[in-house]
Each structure stands twice: as structure tokens, then as C-alpha cells.
A and B are shown apart, each in its own frame.
Chain A
């Protein structure tokens, strides 16, 4: 008697041909969306170190003196304000000096105490920088119809020339320790 022929075994398979494509899609997604963390911060240029300092008189209306004491109280040109009011205080003064020659632009002088908290100092510096950036943005908007960052490099130079960021860091008095 001939044996009954067995049915061929059925194998069930999941189609895997498209898996590679899926993986590539994922890879692409991550490649595109990943941000490599960049260093961010407030940039400044320190003055050169000179042994004997010659003091130069600066007219009062050119200076905006920001004083911060150890409790975080702020004086702008002798008037007590809060850290977050510095922007509003300084901004109109920067704007009023846009059309003046470069030796008459506003100088913002920041002076702290040795005991002042670093965070408050950064907040104050941030406010000053923000004031400058806002003025630059507004100036570029009225003159070129774009924000400062979207301008051509040559145009940026012009705006930079009109509104230079001059921040002077006064040393805290060494007496207090």
C-alpha cells in the first residue's frame, strides 16, 4: 500500500523586505531632528590689563551706570530700580544715541560688589544685552524690513556701527572683603 503523500508544510513568514527601509526612515528622522548641544552664553570682551590706569572723563549723559549691591538692589544712574527694569531704563537711552557719532554712543557701566550674587549679575547683563538686541532689531526692521539676524553681513556691520554694544565692567572696590 502506498503511503499517503503528506501535504507540504506551510511556513508563515512576515515580509521583512521593507524593514530596512523603516529603519532608514527612523535613522533619517533622528539625524534630522537631533540638535548637537552648542555652547550658549553671554559674550564679552574684557579690557586689556594696564598697570597704571588713566582715567578719562566721560560726560554724564553718555554713561548709564548700573550699580548692583550685595543684596541685589540695582541703581541705574542713582535711581533705584529692579533688575528687570534695566531694559526699559536703558533702551530709550540707546535709541536716542543711534544717530550720534561713534564717540558719543552710550556706555553702560556695570559695577557690582564683591558679595553680589553671580546670578543677579548675569540677569543684569542679560537685560542690558536684551536692550541692545531689541534696539538693533527695531532699527533693522525700520531700515531694512528684516530682523537683525536675517540681514546681510554688510548690513549687519552698518547696524553694528550705528548701535555698538559698549559695556564697561567696573571692578568692585577691593576694600570690602
Chain B
């Protein structure tokens, strides 16, 4: 008598047809959630709110200066003292003549500091500035 291996007759596969869809979903989730950011912001700041604000169309021209609650300044990836703004920004302006400086200043700062930054920017000839602000509804 021949023994036959007994196999379950029921199919035991996990359906995989929907796998690419799940992958697509995940991809989409990450696409939606991710914001592209080239620099890490080291200072803590909260932007002021305003109504009459404009969009900066050309993102390529923007260069940021962050000012945190603790009055620290950040350009690019590092914290810099006030007197370094002029040489850094001048070099940037040389590379990109119509640069727009976006000032992301904490709303609790006082104007003395802001004016000092503006003076440095004027000396560096970076005259187009933008006070970054959120839309007030």
C-alpha cells in the first residue's frame, strides 16, 4: 500500500495583491508629512502674526537669519555673534546679488537687537529683507 503525503487542501497563502497599494499608501503618508528642511534650527522662536503679508515667490533667493528667545542669532547651521553677520551676509550677497534676507525673529525680542541686525545688513548691502510672519486669521 502506498502512503500518500497528506496535505491540507485549503489554500494557505496570504494574498499579496494589495501589497503595492499598502506601500503606496505609506509612501503617500510620508510624502504628506515630510517637510524638506536643509538646516536644523538651533534657536527657539515664535513668529509674530500679521495680516498684510506677502509670499516670497522665489525660494532660491532666500537666506535666513534666526533670532531666538534667548537673543541668540543663527545663520546657516551655526550660532553667530552679531558682528559676524556683516562678513557672512556680504559673502552671500556676492554669490547671489539679489538675495532676500528673511528675518525669523522671535516676537518677544526687542527692537534694539532687530535694529542692530538691520544695521549690519545695511553695511553688508543686503537691502531686501522680509520680516517672517504667520498669517493672522
Contact = CB atoms under 8 A, between A and B. Distances in A.
Interface of A: 9, 11, 13, 16, 19-20, 22-23, 26-27, 30, 34, 37-49, 70, 112-119, 121-123, 125-127, 129-130, 132-133, 169, 171-172, 177
Interface of A is mostly: mixed
15 contacts: A11-B11, A34-B31, A39-B56, A40-B54, A40-B56, A40-B133, A40-B135, A41-B54, A41-B102, A42-B130, A45-B129, A48-B122, A118-B110, A123-B48, A129-B50
Given A11-B11, A30-B32, A46-B126, 17 more contacts: A22-B21, A23-B24, A39-B56, A41-B102, A43-B130, A46-B122, A46-B128, A48-B122, A116-B110, A118-B111, A119-B107, A121-B114, A122-B131, A126-B52, A126-B53, A169-B118, A171-B119
B18 A16 contact: yes
A42 B31 contact: no
A127 B53 CA distance: 11
Contact of A114 (B103, B110, B127, B133): B110
Given A46-B127, A169-B118, A20 B21 contact: yes
A117 to B, nearest CB: 6
Interface of B is mostly: mixed
A140 B51 CA distance: 20
A130 B55 contact: no
B52 A39 contact: no
A129 B52 CA distance: 6
B78 interface: no
Interface of B: 9-11, 15, 17-18, 20-21, 24-25, 28, 31-32, 35, 48, 50-56, 59, 62, 100, 102-103, 105-112, 114-115, 118-119, 121-123, 125-135
Contacts of A121: 111, 114
B63 to A, nearest CB: 11
Contacts of B121: 46
